[in-house]
Structure 1
């Protein structure tokens, strides 16, 4: 079922509720969606503080419905006064993870300054946005970065092998930096014991679909390349 058909069917189901005079509530919304879409993963239903809308976290997405159950709304809610994307901010909290899930020994650890601030990065060695992010990251001080080598083979066929070679280098930090900045591939066969496959499995489990993907100390994730100034704000906002 494509997305448009799915949401159209959902709107029809909720519209029938409104026609019968049933006022929407969190329980009513959940039951209606469960009855109409039994295979859907409805993680939460919550009334929002704006415009009487209900927030539904469904299959990893946020959608909204009105208090009467007549409409389903997809897309982002923006606070024009603060220019804040409320949907993305809420998703970041909903998708936050416990840092205990990260086997930090399977990451390349880099400490700058006192290293008081913590950041996990899932990075594909051949991802151009990861290279741009590394250039921005170089401008940030007082941080400990755990880089998990997360090759997306469908996009970058050589990334798996290169990731293993970087891990197998005698100096992983140097190998990572030289490949990201110069494209220099380490001179080994990549056949040492390495965590690349384990990292790929973990990333898939966490729903990491692109790189770079950042995880802050409180577990909040932010997908995509962010400039240094924005990274500083995110580190401050998401300190544990």
Structure 2
């Protein structure tokens, strides 16, 4: 895990560094330049936020609340969980693991942040590949250049057949100044985004276009939800899946999460015969 302290000490926050300054959609975002966390005046949560901002006044705190560790509050900054002592003096960074329960306790707070941040992205900004009546919907931060993003898209028909709707968000992993970023802006500005995304992932030419696109804002949100690589699959409850997952494995994982949450998962369709790579996702 990368160290957060140097980022806290910089002149600007991690998410401000990641944002493309000339993208109008980023400037228009209600979350631009601020975090999601709010705290009552004089509360221990406010003390934690003040402690973080004493290191860097411009950091964005997306979550603050009671930590599973006695005497500490938890906070999410730049997509990472930190723990601040109730007196505001000490800061710990990293996962908090319950040895008895065999559980990473930091994930609940991260899941809440992912849910809240993803809820700020309207349906009109997502590129959706979905069956008529999906059992599950996942958000996928994708890049048109990465191999596993392309592999996932080659199998998009099978994800859909298994009852999984895929809603793509943009994360050009090479950054705002890259050709990758420009290509993804062209995809999101295309009249047929689905066709343009499929073409880009197949190394086919995509006409260069420019518009007020959401790509910079998606990139910023990806940073804030803890993205470290693409594709990043996030479930409706904010759970982050471990990178690329084959369709049947993702369906099984979603069924397990539904069972743990007390919901009865729908019966999964039977596996289909293997298909040649690249046969799906060309709509």
Normalised TM-score (structure 1): 0.63
In structure 2, the residue matched to 1:199 is 214
How many residues get paired? 213
Once the two structures are TM-superposed, the CA of residue 79 in structure 1 deviates from its matched residue by 2.4
In structure 2, the residue matched to 1:148 is 169
Once the two structures are TM-superposed, the CA of residue 166 in structure 1 deviates from its matched residue by 8.5
Of 106, 116, 120, the match for 2:139: 120
Alpha carbon RMSD of aligned pairs, Å? Answer: 4.3
Whether contact under 8 Å (1:107, 1:148) holds in the other structure is: yes
In structure 2, the residue matched to 1:233 is 253
**Matches of 1:149 and 1:42, distance apart in 2:** 22
Once the two structures are TM-superposed, the CA of residue 75 in structure 1 deviates from its matched residue by 1.4
- Distance of aligned partners of 1:231 and 1:212 in 2 relative to their CA distance in 1, 3 Å threshold: farther
Matches of residues 1-240 of structure 1 in structure 2 within 5 Å? 3=5, 26=44, 29-30=47-48, 33=51, 36-37=54-55, 39=57, 40-42=59-61, 45-50=64-69, 52-57=70-75, 59-60=77-78, 61-65=80-84, 71-97=90-116, 101-112=120-131, 114-134=133-153, 140=159, 141-154=162-175, 157-158=179-180, 160-161=182-183, 164=186, 168=190, 173=194, 176-177=197-198, 179-180=200-201, 183-186=202-205, 189-191=207-209, 198-208=213-223, 210-218=229-237, 220=238, 222=240, 225-228=243-246, 229=249, 232-234=252-254, 237=257
The structure with higher relative contact order (CA 8 Å, sep 6+) is 2
Secondary structure in 1 matching 2:115: coil
**Matches of 1:31 and 1:114, distance apart in 2:** 43
Q: Which 5+ residue runs of structure 2 have no aligned equivalent?
A: 10-42, 264-283
Please state which structure has a larger fraction of its residues in helix: 1
Normalised TM-score (structure 2): 0.55
**Matches of 1:161 and 1:42, distance apart in 2:** 31
In structure 1, the residue matched to 2:37 is none
**Matches of 1:5 and 1:117, distance apart in 2:** 36
The higher radius of gyration belongs to 1
